[in-house]
Amino acid sequence: MPPRTSGTPSSSSPTSPPPSLASPLPSASPKDGTVKSRTLKLHWRELQNLAPLPRMTRFGTQTIWAGLEPVNLDKNHLEYLFKSKANSSSLNIVSGRQQPSISVLGVKRSNIITIALSSLPPPRLLPPAIYSMDSCVLEREDIQRLQALIPTEEELCLIKEAKAQNPNASLAPAELCLLTLGEIPHLSTRLQLWAFALDYDSLEREIAEPLFHLKLGMEQLAASQTFKYILATVLAIGNFLNGCKARGFELSYLGKLSQVRDTHTRQPLLHHVCVLLLQLYPESSDLYSDITAVTKAGKCDYCQVQSNFTQLESLCKASWEQVKLLNKADEKRKGGKGERMKGIGDEALAPDGSLRHRLPKILKECEERLKVLRAVHRRVINRFHSFLLFLGYSRAMVRDTKPEDFCKTISNFSLEYRTMQQTILLQRERERERQKNATESPGPNTPVGKRKNQQTPSKDNDEQGRLEEVLRTPESMSRLDVTLPRNRKRMADLQGAFSRKMKW
């Protein structure tokens, strides 16, 4: 380059283009981290004031946000991906008219079925689950709901007649559910047998297992380093896009990461979070395998756990009253002569080791277990409230947050994160295999293929070259070429003629 004189102004170096084909983008200010151009905003609920915990807890004295590590972001790339456009939106809303559906049931019956369907899988999944009695699809509460939804013959006839009159119209959700259940033969018998098989376990286990899953899930989530990486990455991206300095956010926003898409590649924000974590923290896991107890706790209903506990206490008290009544009846039976003979006969039918004689001992043991369950339930719920404070929730938010809702939100997000991570890794693996195959077997027109053909010519190419050389050789020279095959007799004649010519 020519030397720069003092009189001429210095020319600024051109800015490097972004990774994809686009015009150069304005860079973010390094002082305050704000964005000059407009970007998509994340409508989360900020946690502004994160005061230290009121006392020392099992998880420490600070919230989880205080121990997060800073994340280095490519702000120019993020600004390019999430640059706001005038005619673009993050959500595509498809509007259209809905065709009228067939509804023949009463309002009350239809409402009951609709409420039950909100907690059940789609109707198309019910017949195979009922046939195979799959507990992974339907739980004990779902079976109880289905027992209340068993259709009558009158309801099935009304639905079939209405469908026959309007074959092009679709059925309402309630009518479609009843018609699907009505096609299962012996539905009531199947549900009764299934309920009996599930009710065989004791109510004590139904109370203890959800509490154990919640306790273990909190420990797994607090110990997961990948979960902390995700929170730090989402917080850094959100602060950059919003141009703010939030210290945390409510974890329910994790379920909306797959709905926010950038304006150029139309990839969800969850995709970019996975790419950043694979780049910055390659040792991170898929999160779903780290918090298996959270997934199990998300399938439990802790209001039902409290109800089951109260019901178990009532059953235990009622059992004691029934045992007292039985003891009084036995004492009265031993009063007269005839009654005494009957009592002897009853005692013969009920030996000392029978359930009738072991009832007081069993009920006393149940009372002791109920005391332990009561203490465990109280401690686990208090620990869950402490865990929400550890995550930065306010006391008002803690009171409004149910354990099953919180665990289900985290579990669904971890499943989406694992699916997205597997998709990205699979794409990278396919790209590596494609490049490896292209390197190992280059085409004939590529430079590598041409060089390879020049270095190692085949036998066919050698023979073709010799033939071309023979055709280019003049006739006189070709006759004297000893490499060409000739007839032995003609060679002798030629030698004789040549010798005679020399003698002359």
Digit-coded pLDDT (tens) for 46-88: 887 777 777 777 788 888 888 888 888 888 888 888 887 654 4
Task: State pLDDT tens for residues 10-50.
Answer: 444 444 444 443 334 444 444 444 445 678 888 888 887 77
Least confident of 211-215, 245-249, 466-470: 466-470
Which of 160, 169, 176, 161 lies closest to 110 in space, CA to CA? 176
- Mean pLDDT, residues 127-142: 78
* Burial letters 259-278, b for 16+ CB under 10 A, else e: ebbbbbeeebbbbbbbebbe
Taking 60 as the threshold, does the pLDDT of residue 100 lie above it? yes
- Going by pLDDT thresholds of 50, 70 and 90, the confidence category of residue 404 is very high
Bigger pLDDT: 439 vs 389: 389
> If you ran DSSP here, which 8-state letter would residue 65 be given?
G
- Mean pLDDT, residues 376-381: 92
φ/ψ bin of 266: left (φ > 0), alpha (ψ from -120 to 50), beta (otherwise): left
300: tokens are 């439990």
Residues 6+ apart with CB under 8 A from 275: 424
> If you ran DSSP here, which 8-state letter would residue 170 be given?
E
Determine the pLDDT at residue 23: 39
- Give phi and psi for 170, each to the nearest 5: -90, 155
User: How far is Cα 162 from Cα 171, in angstroms, rounded to an integer?
Assistant: 9
Taking 60 as the threshold, does the pLDDT of residue 486 lie above it? no
User: How far is Cα 458 from Cα 467, in angstroms, rounded to an integer?
Assistant: 15
48: tokens are 């502004």
User: How far is Cα 445 from Cα 458, in angstroms, rounded to an integer?
Assistant: 17
